[in-house]
């Protein structure tokens, strides 16, 4: 993402947060890095499954390998 788009995305995110705080009276709660990493992982897996399906394949869960 180039710099102007990143600045616009950050400003949009801040505007949404401030709007929610003002309209609903809720405090901002940081979800934490783990929350965003899990969402990223889920998105990547979903996209990978869609690509595999387009190629006539399917994903099969396997054992988790930790190195």
- The whole-model pTM stands at 0.56
Residue 40's alpha-carbon distances to 24, 35, 58, in angstroms, are: 27, 9, 20
Alpha-carbon dihedral angle through residues 43, 46, 49, 51, given to the nearest 10 degrees: -60
Q: Note the pLDDT tens digit of each residue in 7-52.
A: 999 999 999 999 999 999 888 888 899 999 999 999 999 999 999 9
């Amino acid at each position: 993402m180039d710099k102007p788009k990143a600045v616009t995305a950050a400003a949009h995110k801040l505007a949404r947060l401030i709007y929610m705080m003002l309209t609903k009276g809720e405090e901002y709660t940081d979800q934490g890095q783990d929350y965003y990493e899990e969402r990223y992982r889920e998105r990547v897996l979903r996209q990978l499954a869609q690509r595999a399906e387009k190629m006539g394949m399917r994903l099969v869960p396997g054992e988790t390998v930790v190195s």
